Amino acid sequence: MNGNSRASYKPGKITRFFLHIYHAFAFVMRFFREAFIPPFHFKEFIRQCYNMGYRSLPLISVTGFITGLVFTKQSRPSLADFGATSWLPSLVSIAIVRALAPLVTALICAGKVGSNIGAELGSMKVTEQIDAMEVSAINPYKYLVVTRVLATTLMLPLLMFYTAFVGMMGSFLDVHAHEQTSFISFFESAFSSINFLDYWASIAKALVYGFTISMVGSYKGFYATNGTTGVGHAANSAVVTSMFLIFIEEIIIVQISNFLRGG
């Protein structure tokens, strides 16, 4: 093979796929190497917690409330056929705490936070701001990626509990309107069917989802190319890839939690 043929050689689709997997794996492993080594950009970390946590509350509030309210309305006719509407609080609490709160929160954050990370880092990449940080002796990975991943991983479990609370409040309003159930009776019945394994499984889901969303968004933005078109592609790809991985992780964690329950 001469020089011209080597210069024009392009790897096939399978080769590019495995190269992409290798680069993604190396990107993730770099986080674990640099997350616990000084310097720590604490102010940037707090700023990212504010951006990804507090600024997500309005959307999380509306979505969580509607989820609890609609799920209760949809479940009532089926339980009423068996005269079991008194089971509604337990049914809603199991559904929200075990599945809906982590999943709904993760999907919202994948669309809002993941796309924002991909677009922000992508724009910095194509405008060579990341290269300028390296010239200025600032580790761009540590400043841009590590802070965002830690912030999202920390904030998503908090947002998940908030989503569960708002969802339960939406369910309570519907139950109270139909059965005149008191606030205390509703929540005593709701949480009687929830155990510590349910809480820990939901926390584990939220931690994994938060790490996935921020890591995928950072990876897509950190390696964005082709100018403004590449920025849009990075944001879109971050959302699609994050959601796909979230559903895969949901299946795996549910299987593990069911195994621990002995079911």
Tens place of pLDDT per residue across the chain (263 aa): 454 544 455 667 788 778 888 888 999 898 998 888 888 889 999 999 998 888 889 999 999 999 999 999 988 888 887 777 778 888 888 899 888 999 999 999 998 999 999 999 988 888 888 888 878 878 888 989 999 999 999 999 999 999 999 999 999 998 888 888 888 888 888 888 888 888 899 999 999 999 999 999 999 988 888 777 888 888 899 999 999 999 999 999 989 888 887 75
Kindly state the DSSP code that residue 83 receives in the 8-state scheme. Answer: T
Q: Is 172 exposed, middle or buried (0-12, 13-18, 19+ CB in 10 A)?
A: buried
CA nearest to 115, candidates 184, 59, 196, 37: 59
> CA 54 to CA 57: how far, in whole Å?
5
Give the pair of three-digit tokens for residue 93.
Answer: 């609490």
> Is the four-CA dihedral 58, 63, 66, 71 of positive or negative sign?
negative
- Count CB-CB contacts under 10 A for residue 179: 15
* Residue boundaries of the structural domains of the chain: 53-261
CA atoms of 195 and 90, how far apart (whole Å): 12
How many whole angstroms separate alpha carbon 148 and alpha carbon 138? 16
